[in-house]
Amino acid sequence: MMNLINETSRRARGQAALEAIDGEAGEKVVAALKDIAPDFATYLLEFPFGDIYTRPGLSLRDREIATIAALCALGHATPQLKVHIAAGLNVGLTRDEIVEILMQMSVYAGFPAALNGLFAAKEVFGLHGEGNGASD
């Protein structure tokens, strides 16, 4: 009986967490998976969001610090980094804090990874200043 409840709440919990964290961007990813891999949308809701993000041991704000840092350091996941920079703002990180996290990645993954992360943040924050060096 517990299992039935848990299983039902697991997916629902994941759906609720996705909405709270990623907002519309999360919905778009789920929608984009429908025609290529609908089961993967289910796994995405169930494991990362239903299982991990809803665990009580770490706040959503702290979890987004970890995610933004990891995606910036890995360097090959720019679309997801942008989603999680927006998610960070959704769960209580300030722009300045996100910039601090991204700058710190220069120490662990090098200046190019940090620069690309900062230019991703610039785009998410909607800043449009002098020529974006990332594409030069």
Q: Which residues contact 44 (CB under 8 A, 6 or more apart)?
A: 14, 18, 29, 30, 33
Nearer to a second copy, 89 or 113 (CB): 113
Least distance to a second copy, CB of residue 62, Å: 6
Count Cβ atoms within 10 A of the Cβ of residue 34 and give its class: 0-12 exposed, 13-18 middle, 19 or more buried: exposed
Among 15, 16, 19, 125, binds a second copy (CB under 8 A): 125
In the region spanning residues 66 to 95, those forming contacts with a second copy, defined by CB under 8 A, are: 66-77, 79-80, 82-83
> Contact letters (x/-) for a second copy, 36-65, by CB under 8 A?
xx-xx--xx--xx--xxx-x-xx---xx-x
Q: Quick check: 119 binds a second copy (CB under 8 A)?
A: yes
Phi (first) and psi of residue 106, to 5 degrees: -60, -30
Cα 43–Cα 113–Cα 18 angle in degrees, nearest 5: 25
Nearer to a second copy, 91 or 102 (CB): 102
Q: Quick check: 126 binds a second copy (CB under 8 A)?
A: no
